Homo-oligomer: A and B are copies of this chain.
Amino acid sequence: MSKSEQKLTKKQIAIIEAATELFAEKGFSATSTSEIAQKAEAAEGTIFKHFKSKKGLLMSVVSPITVEFYGPMIKKDLDKVFDKEFEYYQDFIRAMIENRKIFIQNNLPVLRILIQEIPFHPELKEQFIEQVGKDIIERIRGIIRFYQEKGQMVDIHTDTIIRTVASTILSYIVARYVLIPEARWDTEEIETERIIQLLENGLSKKK
């Protein structure tokens, strides 16, 4: 679909898909390139022809998501926020979660890999921050300030709010999809509402 994928051969796509599955399942270090080759029905040499190294393959697995995750977000959703100017920040958060939910569900394996491997590969974090940081963080800061000035949100440091919201959402994803998927979970909708409710009352300025 995206430009970067157009030039990939069938074998390359098969390799990336196999690697994604295996990295998510067993972890990057515990996955061997021969396993990947086997699963992708490709020769081991083919992997290194195209991705140079195992780490290069990891980057190719993980890179698109950092682009795609924020790419559409900027152009469609964030603009929508400014256009629509949600009256309550809760609606803004709900819209964001709603919008990214499908994406997250479709890309869960890659997100798992990203979360697992970030502590061990500084480049991953840097690449992620570079993609996100430059544009998004700044715009989100603006939005948060907008709601703070409206008197809806507490007056603590903007970045702390962003961190709190982000880590609350992330912790739900990690708990549900990585750590304890076997626990009894409610439907996505209910859990989402619960998160929003938690954030809502916790961060709201009370009159």
Contact = CB atoms under 8 A, between A and B. Distances in A.
B175 A163 contact: yes
A159 B184 contact: yes
Nearest to A117: B27
Interface in A113-130: 115-116, 118-120, 125
Given A156-B194, A200-B202, 4 more contacts: A27-B119, A157-B184, A159-B184, A167-B172
A171 B170 CA distance: 8
A174 B112 CA distance: 14
Interface of A: 26-30, 112, 115-116, 118-120, 125, 156-157, 159-160, 163-164, 167-168, 170-172, 174-175, 178-180, 183-184, 186, 194, 197-204, 206
Number of identical protomers: 4
Contacts of A172: 167
Contacts of A202: 197-202
Given A197-B202, A201-B204, A167 B171 contact: yes
6 A-B pairs with least C-beta separation: A171-B171, A29-B29, A198-B202, A167-B171, A29-B30, A201-B201
